[in-house]
A and B are shown apart, each in its own frame.
Chain A
Amino acid sequence: MGVYTDITQIIAPSSAAPGETVPVTVKVKNIDDYWDHVIKLIVVFYDVYGEMDSFISEVVIIRSLETHSFSGSFTMPNCDTVIDAFTYYPIGKEWIFDDRKSKDISLAEVPEPYAGTISKKQLEYDESRASIPAYNVPQGERGLVHIWGRNDMSTNQKMGISWIVRDPDGIVVEEYSHWETFWTGPGKTQEFIGDRFNLDKAGTYTINVGLLMNPDHPIYVDIYYGNLCTVAAAVPSPAFRSFAVTEYAKQ
C-alpha cells in the first residue's frame, strides 16, 4: 500500500500458452479519505530475455476512496512471466512511485494436437478382400468394410470411426460408427469392421469415412470421401430367343 493508492487486485490467468493473449485488469484504490488524486498506472510483463515490456500506461483522476480498474493485454512469451503494476502520483513535473503489486503467470503446457490417419481400407466380399476402391466386384455379392485407424500422437488415444456407404443411386446401404473399447498406443493401429450389406446394383458405390479422437468432444483427425467399389453387372446365363429357320436353298 502506498501513500495515496493501494493496488488491490490484479486479475489475470495464472497460466497461459505461448502466443496466447493474456487479459489483465488492475484495480487501484485512492486511499486518501479527503482528496482526489491524479494517479498514473504502469503495468509490465517480463519477456524471454527478462526485459520489461509495458502494456498499460494510463493517467486518471481517482476520487477519494474510490477504486479504478485499468485493463489491457499482452502476448504470453514462451516462458513463465510476472506482471508488475506500479502506481505514481505527481509532485511538480515528477512522478513519485507509490505502490507496487505483482502476479506470476506460468507457461501453460501446449496440448498435443489430435492426429491420426486412416492407414488402410479394405472391402471384403466373396471370402476375399480388396483395397478400397475395389473394382469389378461381381454383382450380388455381400460387402463388408474394414478400416484401420492409426494413432499418430505420442500418447494413448481412444479412436472412433464413422462411415456411410451409398449405392450407385445414392441410397444409404450402411451407416456405421463405433468407438474402440480401450485405447490405441502411439503409432499403433485399430481395425474397425462394419456390418454386411448387399452389393446388388451395378455401378459405383461410395463411402464417406471419418476417423475420430477425443470421445467427449469428437474431432475428425482424418477422412476419406471417395469410391468404395465398382460393381460389374452380372452376365446373365445363356439364353436363346426366336431361334428359327429363316430360309433354305439348293446350292
Chain B
Amino acid sequence: MVTQFLQTLGIAVAPGQKLEIMRGDTVRMHVGFDYRGPALTGLTLRCSIGQRIIGIFDEIAYGHARIDVNKSMDFVPYTAYADIDTSPISPKTNYDIEAKIEEFMRDTLVGIDNVIDVLGVAEFANFAITSYEKA
C-alpha cells in the first residue's frame, strides 16, 4: 500500500520493482551510462514499454529524448530520461520496458521484464434502475 501511495505521488522505483500506472499516465524512465570518445550531439534516447514475446520485444508505447555527450579521453558518467505516454497501452499486468540510444543500439540496448502494470480507467457498465419500493 505504501508503494502504491508513493507511486501515486510520482516516486520512482528501482529497476526490477513493479510500477502500477493508469492507462494514459506518463512514465518517466531514467537511464545512466558512461561515455568516452569524441563529442556527439543529437543522439536519441528511446525508452519503451511493451511485451517480450519469445525474445522479441513488441513495443507499444515509447518516448524520445535528445542526448549530447562531450569529448572525453576517459569514461564520464551521464544520466538522461525520456517520458512515455501510456495511452496506447491496454490495461494488463507485467509489461516489459526497454531503453537504448538509437545510434548505438548494439552498445546500449537494455530491458527489464514484468515491471509495469497498467490499470484501466474507471468504467461502469449496465447501470440501471432495477426496482423501486417503499422503504
Residues on A facing B (Cβ under 8 Å): 233, 235-251
> Given that A239-B37, A241-B35 are known contacts, is A248 also in contact with B30, CB under 8 Å in the complex?
yes
Q: B89 CB to closest chain A CB, in angstroms? A: 13
Given the complex, which residues of A lie within 8 Å of B21, measured CB to CB?
A: 250
Residues on B facing A (Cβ under 8 Å): 7-8, 10-15, 19-21, 25-38, 40, 47, 71, 73, 75, 79, 83, 97, 99-101, 104, 107-108, 110, 112, 115-116
For the A-B complex, the count of residue pairs with Cβ-Cβ distances under 8 Å equals 107
Q: A240 CB to closest chain B CB, in angstroms? A: 4
User: Is there contact, CB below 8 Å, between B19 and A251?
Assistant: no
The dominant DSSP class at the A interface is strand
User: Is there contact, CB below 8 Å, between B37 and A248?
Assistant: no
User: Is there contact, CB below 8 Å, between B31 and A236?
Assistant: no
| CB-nearest residue of chain B to A249 | B12
User: Is there contact, CB below 8 Å, between A245 and B99?
Assistant: yes
Given the complex, which residues of B lie within 8 Å of A248, measured CB to CB?
A: 12-13, 15, 19, 27-30, 97, 115-116
| CB-nearest residue of chain A to B22 | A250
User: Is there contact, CB below 8 Å, between A245 and B29?
Assistant: yes
Query: A241–B36 Cα gap in the complex (Å)?
Result: 9
Query: A244–B80 Cα gap in the complex (Å)?
Result: 11
| CB-nearest residue of chain A to B29 | A248
User: Is there contact, CB below 8 Å, between B34 and A241?
Assistant: yes
Partner of B110, one of A233, A244, A251: A244
Query: A238–B34 Cα gap in the complex (Å)?
Result: 11
Q: List 18 A-B contacts (CB under 8 A).
A: A235-B38, A236-B37, A238-B104, A240-B34, A240-B108, A242-B34, A243-B31, A244-B33, A245-B15, A245-B29, A245-B99, A246-B32, A247-B15, A249-B10, A249-B13, A249-B28, A250-B7, A250-B8
> Given that A240-B101, A251-B25 are known contacts, is A246 also in contact with B31, CB under 8 Å in the complex?
yes
